[in-house]
Copies of this chain bind each other. A is one copy, B any other.
Amino acid sequence: MQSIEKIVLIGSGNVATELAVIFIQKGLKIVQVYSPNLKNAELLASASGCDATNILLDIREDADLYIIAIKDDAISELNTGLRLPGKIVVHTSGSAGLNAIQNISDKTGVFYPLQTFTKNRQLDWKNIPVILESSDASSLESLKSLAGSITDSVFEINSENRKKLHLAAVFASNFINHILGQSKGILGEDIPFNILQPLVNETVSKAFELGPDQSQTGPAKRRDMKTIEAHIELLKSFPEAEKTYRMFTDFIIRKYKDPGTND
């Protein structure tokens, strides 16, 4: 097993930036940052104490690991234009297959941190699941060791299941965030948004402890039609939230034949 010390980052967005921060904290070396946008490459490179380039052919060949952290749409260009024979090359995408980078090297992998990244937020990596996959057992061991140095939560999951996981994460993160935006819109200016935080925290804890099916509460679950009608009336000036309300209320009513006694 090859141990990983020197890393080239291909990409300079939020994922590349957060990876640079945690790797440097753990004593690893970022030796180069590539981005088609030289300014972005230079920003991250200077924070990482290394060189930047926007030219594929100038990517150094003496690193132990090449991490491709760019939009899925741009990965195929690299697969066409980049060759790093004998090097371990991984991408960080939840939805791209392992084969998306198969022309770059014969030692490929996936290093997918399951988290939502926004610049300048302190993250506790210890709990962030890192999802691994690799073309060969030896690279997998190297990646396991690297992942294990930043988190306690390392999973080996194949491309098919990783795609499902990424899709589930869109619901659990992007759509939940959007729903919170709808809540904030309904509250308006007079009611502080933060008043909802203890409720949301308990909702999430409960869903993971008991399972969402056992945790469901609310007017739709109770089939409290009087409240549902009053809510729809209140939503007249929020057409998007009204659509959401009608759809989810319908889903929940149909799901729970026995309304139960929750709430």
Contact = CB atoms under 8 A, between A and B. Distances in A.
Given A161-B191, A251-B240, A115 B202 contact: yes
What number of copies of this chain does the assembly contain?
2
Contacts of A13: 261, 263
A252 B217 CA distance: 26
Contact of A163 (B190, B217, B234): B234
Interface string A176-213: 11111111101110110111111111111011101111
A153 interface: yes
A263 B117 contact: yes
Interface residues of A, number: 95
Contact of A71 (B157, B203, B224, B251): B224
Contacts of A194: 208
Contacts of A203: 116, 172-173, 176-177
Contact of A178 (B114, B198, B212, B235): B212
A215 interface: yes
A157 B190 CA distance: 10
Contacts of A15: 263
B174 A117 contact: no
A77 to B, nearest CB: 13
A191 B164 contact: yes
A9 to B, nearest CB: 15
A208 B193 contact: yes
Contacts of A251: 178, 240
25 contacts: A71-B222, A73-B224, A95-B227, A114-B199, A115-B199, A116-B206, A117-B262, A118-B206, A118-B215, A129-B198, A167-B186, A167-B235, A170-B245, A171-B241, A171-B245, A173-B203, A176-B207, A177-B203, A177-B216, A178-B248, A178-B252, A180-B204, A194-B208, A200-B208, A201-B204
Interface of A: 13-15, 71-73, 95, 114-118, 121, 123, 127-129, 153, 155, 157, 161, 163-165, 167-184, 186-188, 190-191, 193-204, 206-208, 210-222, 224, 226-227, 230-231, 234-235, 240-241, 243-245, 247-248, 251-252, 255, 261-263
Given A175-B245, A176-B179, 20 more contacts: A115-B198, A116-B199, A117-B217, A121-B206, A129-B199, A163-B230, A163-B234, A164-B188, A171-B179, A171-B245, A172-B179, A176-B203, A176-B204, A177-B206, A177-B207, A178-B248, A178-B252, A181-B216, A184-B211, A194-B208
